[in-house]
Chains A and B, each alone.
Chain A
Amino acid sequence: DAGVIQSPRHEVTEMGQEVTLRCKPISGHNSLFWYRQTMMRGLELLIYFNNNVPIDDSGMPEDRFSAKMPNASFSTLKIQPSEPRDSAVYFCASGEGRLTEQFFGPGTRLTVL
């Protein structure tokens, strides 16, 4: 298995632009998680899905952030409009459910100028 796939690996954009991050979870996993990692705040959970349904989005910072999971093999995290404080590494992870391992993708490093 190729593991969790994220694209792009790096994104540099200007303030105000729309940014879309993509994730393909491991086949057969029914949970998908989006995280953000910064030096100041560490690794924070933004939102997670179970069987394609959003379960907890309490970590989404504000309305500029949205996430979708249209099917079991694809999810997007969108930021519109982007701001410099959104600069971070965004990770997608998938898992098989409670108490099991979460498998992380390589991350997308986002820089908003």
Chain B
Amino acid sequence: TQLLEQSPQFLSIQEGENLTVYCNSSSVFSSLQWYRQEPGEGPVLLVTVVTGGEVKKLKRLTFQFGDARKDSSLHITAAQTGDTGLYLCAGTNFGNEKLTFGTGTRLTIIP
């Protein structure tokens, strides 16, 4: 069974600070997605990375896929209260559309 471990599990920081959350596995994935989930709602896709070493930027969010396609990171610059939520990484395998979700990082931004 492929596992995706996310760290930290919980993170609480002040508005305006920077942060990085991590998604690690011992398995190789063909692509990796990051989702954000707010209370009472389903996860919403933020980004998909498909190439080892790929870096994608989405405004203040920077996503990186590890060279070996086993890990990923999400960096947020100048965090805002609207960034609060549960961040989930999810990996796919070659030839398969099934997603394996990570354990999640619950982020709270304090005003």
A residues lining the B interface (CB < 8 Å): 4, 31, 33, 35, 42-45, 48, 50, 56, 91, 93, 95, 97-99, 101-102, 104-107
Flag if B101 contacts A42 (CB, 8 Å).
Answer: yes
Flag if B97 contacts A93 (CB, 8 Å).
Answer: no
CB neighbours (8 Å) of B42 from chain A are 4, 91, 93, 104-107
Flag if B97 contacts A104 (CB, 8 Å).
Answer: no
CB neighbours (8 Å) of A91 from chain B are 42-43
A26 to chain B, nearest CB (A): 12
B residues lining the A interface (CB < 8 Å): 30-31, 33, 40-45, 48, 50, 88, 92, 95-104
CB neighbours (8 Å) of B43 from chain A are 43, 91, 104
Interface of A is mostly: strand
Flag if B41 contacts A106 (CB, 8 Å).
Answer: yes
Among B41, B97, B103, the one with the most A-chain Cβ atoms within 10 Å of its Cβ is: B97
Flag if B41 contacts A95 (CB, 8 Å).
Answer: no
Partner of B99, one of A45, A50, A97, A107: A45
Given contacts A91-B42, A107-B42, contact A102 B103 (CB under 8 A): no
